[in-house]
Amino acid sequence: MNECIITKVNHLETTKIMRLVEESTSEGFRHIKRLVIDYEAGTNKFDGDGEALFIAIKDGDIVGVCGLNQDPHTGSKAVGRVRRLYVLPSVRRFGIGRLLMDSVITEAKNYYQMLVLKTDNPNADMFYQSIGFSVKADSQNDTHFVKFS
């Protein structure tokens, strides 16, 4: 596989991730379409303190995305939330999701003591556990977490 570059973006040109929207929608996922809707509406631009948006670029094309927000559910500034991770099916299982998450985790460690997320996808569950997240069974808002020491 050719090199994949992970880039932190300060401004997302939403038209450039329409392929991700189309592919994710065809798989039955709504979260990338919501990323675009929220970004364009200004309700989540991943631009607050401790927030970031990363894209994966391969051969000049955006093939993945993942964001970091302050967790809105805890009321604590010590908890970050992984948002909107998606990698195109054609480039899955080549480590792109891990590269995106490595970037999110590195960024999160500068601001947060813990990182949480929510998924109902069994493949995502296995992925998150494989990179060190634990299952969080006692929350309606989160399914996985990792604490930073």
Structure letter (DSSP) for residue 136: -
* Contact of 55 with 35, CB cutoff 8 Å: no
* Contact of 125 with 119, CB cutoff 8 Å: yes
Q: How far apart are CA 149 and CA 146, in angstroms?
A: 10
Q: How far apart are CA 133 and CA 32, in angstroms?
A: 22
Report phi then psi at 42, rounded to 5.
85, 5
Q: Is the pTM of this model over 0.85?
A: yes
Domains in the chain, start-ordered, CATH in brackets? 4-147 (3.40.630.30)
Q: How far apart are CA 75 and CA 54, in angstroms?
A: 24
Closest by CA position to 64, among listed 90, 27, 29:
90
Instruction: Quick: pLDDT tens for 96-106.
Output: 999 999 999 99
DSSP string, 113-144: SEEEE----HHHHHHHHHTTPEE--S-SS-SE
Structure letter (DSSP) for residue 140: S
What percentage of residues in the chain have a pLDDT greater than 70? Answer: 99
Tokens representing 106 are 């590195």
Q: What pLDDT was estimated at residue 1?
A: 47
Beta-carbon neighbour count of residue 30 at 10 Å? 11
- pLDDT band, very low/low/confident/very high, at 2 (cuts 50, 70, 90): low
Instruction: Quick: pLDDT tens for 34-80.
Output: 999 999 999 999 999 999 999 999 999 999 999 999 999 988 899 99
